[in-house]
Amino acid sequence: MSSRQSLLAFSVLAVSLAGCSTAPPKSVAGSEQEIMGRVEALLDRYAANDQKGVIAMLDPNRITIFGSDLKEVVKTNDAVSRLMTDDFTLWHSAKFSDVRDVDVRMSDRMATTFFAASFYPGGSPNPVPVRFAMTWRNVNGQWLLTQSANSVPTVGQSAAEILGKR
């Protein structure tokens, strides 16, 4: 086959395959922005003590939330409401800012978000750093929270720091 015939055959194949293609999938960056938009909405609703709004963002089939205290293990909507009632009875207000160290992993059905944020309980001028790990499930095109864990990391307590290596 001559090079001209090869080029013609390749062109026909390329045009044929192009006609069979489907629309490209949504960009990963766009999907990550969508998930982080859900994270921001969840944090905003929590900070506003919007219990119904938070619960509306939870997976209705299964939810597990680990708070920063060992005894804070939440598995029902009623328990979410109790946790938020206790939090706001103690603090009266809350605010999140400076979301950072973001890592998003996604498939069509599940996504994870790992990030840190500054948390201001009770109007405190001094933020508390909090790390979050969340799992989201795509339910009929809507990302719903199905798992969440948070921790308040220490400063100066890593093994390397304790051993004097830093």
Q: Which residues pair with 110 in a beta bridge?
A: 137
Cα separation, 156 vs 152, whole angstroms = 13
Banded pLDDT at 26 (limits 50, 70, 90): very low
Percent of the chain exceeding pLDDT 90 equals: 72
| Top-level class of domain 28-162 | alpha beta
- Quote the pLDDT of residue 158: 84
Domain ranges of the chain: 28-162
Q: For residue 92, what are its two tokens?
A: 């009266």
Predicted structure pTM score: 0.79
Taking all residues of the chain, what is their mean pLDDT, rounded to a whole number?
85
Cα separation, 16 vs 30, whole angstroms = 29
**What is the tens place of the pLDDT at every residue in 50-98?**
999 999 999 999 999 999 899 999 999 999 999 999 999 999 999 999 9
Question: Residue 145 gets which letter from DSSP?
Answer: E
